[in-house]
Structure 1
Amino acid sequence: MGLLGDTLSGLSPDQEHLWITAAVAGSILWVGYGIFLAVYRLYLHPLAKFPGPKLAALTQWYEVYYEIVQGGGGQFTFEIKRMHEKYGPIVRINPNELHIDDPDYYDVIYANGKAYDKPVFFQYRFNMPHATFSTADADSHRIRRAAIAPFFSKNKVRDQNRLIQNVVDRISYRLATEWSGTARVIDLMEMWGCMTSDVITELVFARPKHFVESAGLKSEFSNSLSDMVYTTHYMTHFGWLLTVMNALPNWFVKIAAPPFRSVIEFREEMERQIADILAGRNTEAKTASHPTVFHEILSSSLPAEELSLNRLQNEAMSLVGAGDHTTKWAFTVGSFHIIANPDIQKKLKDELTAAIPDPDNIIPWSELEKLPYLSAVVSEALRTSFGVVQRLPRINRFAAWKYGDYEIPPGVPVGMDQYHMHTNPDIFPEPNTFKPERWLGNPTGPDGIKPLSTYMTAFGKGTRMCTGLNMAYAELFIGLATIFRRHEFLLFETDRSDVDFAVDMVSPHPKWGSKGVRALVK
C-alpha cells in the first residue's frame, strides 16, 4: 500500500481529511513560494535589469553545476567568460551577484583606500573564517591586516634574502649531485613546492619542514595544500558540510570522508604550531635569525579576542596556504615556458651569466630585480599563472557604483578576476603566448599612457591586495635566477596542457589527469 497508505490507515476519517488537507496546503505553499521567488528574481529583483542567463538569475544551482559537475568541476570561470561574450561587459552570474569584464573598471572595485566588504558567502570556503584573507567586514579586515602587513614589507623581506637563498642552494646542490646527467626525472612543481613550503614555515613558525632534503624532492605538506583546494567548491556551496565536519571527531572524518582528510590534517598541524607558540613551547623562534609572523602578531596592538587559538590557527592556515600554492604554481608555469622555448632560455641565461659571473655567488634580490629580462620573465610567469582565478567580489555598502548606463545598488557583490584581466587581448596581444618581451622597455596599455603593469593583477589590488606579494617576488627572482643560472633542463613527456589553466579551484589547475611538469637535468 506504500508509506502514505500505511500512514493514513491508522487515522480516523477526520484525521485523515486533516492530514491530506495539510499536505495539499503545504504543497501549494511550496509551489507558490517557488513561483513567487522565480517571478521576484526574474522581474522584481534589484538586479533584474542586468543582462545574463535567465537560469543563472533564477537559481544558485546554475553556478553549482559548473563548479562541481560540468567537466569534473571548476568550470564556472569559463562559463562567466562565455556569458560576457554573449551578453557584454557586465553580467548577472547568479541571483545576487554581478561580474564585470572591463580592465579599466578594476581600479574602481579594487580601489586603494576604499573599505569594501567581501560576501559572507565566501568566508567559510577554506574552513578558516577568522583569517584576515577570509574576513568579510572591511573594518575587521583592516585591523587584522595591520598586524601582519609590516612583516611582509619590502625592507623586511629583503632581510630574508639569505634564508631564501639558502633553501634554493640546497635544491640546486641536490639537482647537481642526484639528477644532473642522469635519466632521473624531476617533477618541477614538487621541487618548487619543497622550496615554498620550507620558506613559509620558517618565516611563520621558525620551524621549516626541510622538504628540500626529502626523497625525490617531494613535499607532502605542499601536496596536501594542493589536495585541499579540491574540496573548495563543496565547502562554498554546501556550508553545512563544514558544520558537520567540525562537529565530528577528526579521526572519524578522515575515515568517513577521505577527500577532507587533507583539510583536517592541515588544520591539526596549524593548531599544534599555534598552541606551541601560545604556550611558549616554540623554542626555535628564540634562536632564529628573524622574528616570526606570529610572535610579531602577539606583540601587536590586536585586542585579546583576536589572539585566541582558533583565530590564530585560521590565520596560520591562510598564511601558509597562500604562501605555498600560488607561488609554486607561478614557478612551475614560468619554468615550463623557459625550458620549452630555447630562445627565452638563452636570453635569460645570457643575462644571468653577465650579471652573475660566479654561479656560486648569486647577487641579492635587490640587484636581481634590476635585470630587465629576468624581471620580464617573472612578470610573464605571474601573468600566465594568474595567482587566483576565481572572481573576488566586493560590496560597497554605502554608495551605488555606476557602470555605463547601469547603476549598481549598494550592497550588491560585484566581482572581477585575474583570468579575464590577464587574457584580455586588447591589453596583452596574443594572451596565450608566453612572451617576456611584452614587459620590456616601459610598455603601456592600450591608451598609450597607463603602464602595462597597471593591468598586472596577480596579487589583486586595493586594501585587500595580497599581503605576501613582496615575499613571492623575492622567491621568484632568487629561485629562477639561481636554478637557471646553474642548471639546464629538458622536458620529459610534458606539454602545454600540463600548465594551461583548465580547472578553477580558486587557484588555477591544469587538465584533469596531468602528471605534472617533468624534466631531466642536463
Structure 2
Amino acid sequence: MDISKHWTLADAFDPSIIPPKLVPKAVVLFALSSIVYGIGLGIYRLYLSPIAKFPGPKLAALTQWYEVYFDMVKKGGGQFPFEIKRMHDVYGPVVRINPWELHIDDPDYYEVVYATNKQYEKMTHFQYRFNVPLALFSTSDSNEHRVRRAAVNPFFSKSRVRGRDDQIQSLADRISHRLSTEYAGTNKILHIGNMWGAYTADVIMDIVFARPKHFTQYPDFAAPFTVAINQMAVWAHVTLHFGWILSIMNCIPDAVVKVLFPPFRPIIEFRAEMKREIKEMLAGRNQEAKNTDRPTVFHDILSSDVPQRELEPERLNHEAIGLVGAGIETTAWSMTIGTFHILDNPAVLKKLKEELTKAMPDPNESLSWAELEQLPYLTAVIKETLRIAMGGVERLPRINRNGTWTYEKYVIPAGTPVGMDQYHMHFNEHIFPEPSVFKPERWLGNPRGPDGVKPLTTYLTVFGKGPRSCVGLNLAWAEIYIGFSTFFRRHEFEFFETTRRDVEFFAENLKASPWPGSKGVRVLVKK
C-alpha cells in the first residue's frame, strides 16, 4: 500500500495518529537520552576536557550555572569577582572558573595575555550581551577588530584629543557656573554621579556626532540618557547568560518591547536615539557636523579605507552605541569615586588645592590638558583615582588560537579563554600596599614595582593593554584632568549623608558598584 497517497503534511502535526502506548515510551526515551547526555558531558568536562587538569571547584568545571549563581543570585548578583578571588586563595594563581575558561592572578602575567604585539581573540560569549555585536569593543574576531580599530584610532590619538581641550573645558565651565549660581551657599544637594555623568555624556556626544545634547543643563544633572547608559550595565549579567531575551526583543517592535520588558525601556530609547543620529548623519541632515571644522569620529570612519560592509547603517549604529556607552559610564563613575576620596581625605584635598592654586592663581584662567599633566600631585591623584575605581572591573578573557601559553608548570591549550581583571591587579597587596587606602603619594617620584625595575604604572591596567585596550583612553584622561582641576580649584564642598560605603566595591555590574541601598555621592556646595 502506498501511504503517500493518503498522508499529508498536516498529519505530521496530528497527535491522534501517534499510538497512545508510544507516548510514554517517547517521553522515557527522551528522558533517558538527556540523562545519558548529561552524564557524558559531565565526564568530559571533569576528566577529558583539555583544561580538566587545572585546579578549581568541580562544580564550576561542571556547569556554568555556578557562575550564574554568583552573577545573578548571591547578594543580588555581581559577586563572581569575589568568588574568583576566593578560588585563587584556595587553589593558587591559575584556576578554572567555568567549564571552558581559566583565570590567572599574577600581575606579571598580564603583559602575556594582553600582549601589545599579538592579535588575540575575544570570547564570542561576550560579543552579544549589549546587542551590538558589530561594535568595535564587541568584536571577537581579531582580523575584523584590527580593521575597525584602525578606522577610529587616529581620531582618539593624543594629539587629536588635545585639539578638543577647549570643548571639554567649555563643558566643565558650564558645570562650574551652575555650581556657583545654583548650588553655592544653598542647601541644594548635588549628586556627584549625575554631574559627572552629564559631563562625560556631553563630551562624547559633542565629539562623536558634533551635536551636543546639553545634558549638563538638565535639572539636578539627571539626564534620562545617562540613566539609560547605567541600565545597560545593570542588566549586563542577564543579557550575558540569557541572550535569548535579546533575540526575542529583536523580533518585536520597540514599542511592544518597552511594554513587555519595562526595565529595558531606557535601553531601547538609547538605541533608538543612536539610530536616529546615524541616519541623519548618513543622510547629511546633521547640520552641526557639516558646519564644524573638527571632523567627528564618523567622518573618520566614513573616509577610511575599510570594506563597504563596515559602512552599513547597522554596523555604524552598533559602533555609535558602543562608543557612547563606553565613553560615559566608567569614566563618570571613576570621577565620582575620586571625588569622594579627595573630599574624604583632608590632607589630600589640601595638597591638591595648594598645587592647583599655585598653577592657576586666577581660578578662571584654566590650563590646557598638556599643562595640567605637568602637575605632579594632580597626576598622582588621578592615577590613584583610576587604580581604586578600576574602571571596567569585569574580567577580559583572551583566546590564543595559534599557540599555547605556559604558566608555571601548566601548558594552556590553544583556543582556551584566559582572563584577568582590574580587581585582582589594582588590589594586589604586593604591588599596592594597603590597596583599600586612597594614597596618591604612592605615585610620586617615578615609583617602581616590586622588582625595582618595572614602573608602577605597568600595573595600572584600568584601560587594558594590547590591541584591544580602551580606544578612548586619551579622552578619558583629558576629561578627568580638566574636570578635576576645574572642580577643585574653584569650589568647596561638604558631604551630605554620604559614607565610604557609597563608593566601596560591593557588586560587579561592569563597573565596581556600591551596595544596592546607596543614594550616591552627595554634597553641598559651600563655594
The residue number in structure 1 matching 2:7 is: none
In 1: Cα distance, 2:213 partner to 2:273 partner: 12
In 2: Cα distance, 1:176 partner to 1:20 partner: 76
Letter matched to residue 126 of structure 2: F
2:413 maps to which of 409, 413, 416: 409
**Residue 21 of structure 1: how far off its partner (Å):** 2.7
In 1: Cα distance, 2:129 partner to 2:16 partner: 47
1:50 maps to which of 45, 49, 54: 54
| Contact residue 327 and residue 472 of structure 1 kept, 8 A | yes
The residue number in structure 2 matching 1:452 is: 456
**Residue 432 of structure 1: how far off its partner (Å):** 0.3
Percent identity, please.
Answer: 58
Q: Give the direction of change, closer, same or farther, for the CA distance of 1:250–1:496 in structure 2 (3 Å limit).
A: same
The answer to whether the aligner puts 1:279 opposite 2:256 as a matched pair is no
**Residue 11 of structure 1: how far off its partner (Å):** 8.0
CA deviations 1:269-308 (Å, max 9, x no partner) are: 1100000011111111122242111121111111111011
Alignment of 1:464-479 (within 5 A): 464-479=468-483
The answer to whether the aligner puts 1:123 opposite 2:127 as a matched pair is yes
| Contact residue 197 and residue 219 of structure 1 kept, 8 A | no
| Contact residue 188 and residue 519 of structure 1 kept, 8 A | yes
The residue number in structure 2 matching 1:197 is: 201
Per mean C-alpha deviation after superposition, the further-off stretch among 501-510 and 97-106 is: 501-510
In 1: Cα distance, 2:184 partner to 2:352 partner: 20
Letter matched to residue 60 of structure 2: A
**Residue 211 of structure 1: how far off its partner (Å):** 1.4
The residue number in structure 2 matching 1:133 is: 137
The answer to whether the aligner puts 1:163 opposite 2:170 as a matched pair is no
Structure 2 counterpart SS, 1:508: strand
The residue number in structure 2 matching 1:347 is: 351
The residue number in structure 2 matching 1:391 is: 395
Alignment of 1:458-497 (within 5 A): 458-497=462-501
TM-score, structure 1 normalization: 0.97
CA deviations 1:98-136 (Å, max 9, x no partner) are: 000000000000000101000111000111100010000
The answer to whether the aligner puts 1:374 opposite 2:378 as a matched pair is yes
In 2: Cα distance, 1:187 partner to 1:231 partner: 23
In 1: Cα distance, 2:304 partner to 2:397 partner: 29
Per mean C-alpha deviation after superposition, the further-off stretch among 33-42 and 370-379 is: 33-42
CA deviations 1:351-376 (Å, max 9, x no partner) are: 00011111110111101001000000
The residue number in structure 1 matching 2:30 is: 26
Alignment of 1:17-416 (within 5 A): 17-416=21-420
In 2: Cα distance, 1:53 partner to 1:437 partner: 39
Q: Give the direction of change, closer, same or farther, for the CA distance of 1:217–1:24 in structure 2 (3 Å limit).
A: closer
Letter matched to residue 128 of structure 1: V
The residue number in structure 2 matching 1:6 is: none
Equivalences, count? 512
* Structure 2, unaligned runs of 5 or more: 1-14
In 1: Cα distance, 2:240 partner to 2:386 partner: 26
**Residue 455 of structure 1: how far off its partner (Å):** 0.1
In 1: Cα distance, 2:512 partner to 2:168 partner: 25
| Contact residue 109 and residue 414 of structure 1 kept, 8 A | yes
| Contact residue 389 and residue 504 of structure 1 kept, 8 A | yes
In 1: Cα distance, 2:394 partner to 2:102 partner: 13
* Structure 1, unaligned runs of 5 or more: 1-9
RMSD: 1.2
In 1: Cα distance, 2:435 partner to 2:182 partner: 37
Structure 2 counterpart SS, 1:15: coil
Letter matched to residue 243 of structure 1: S
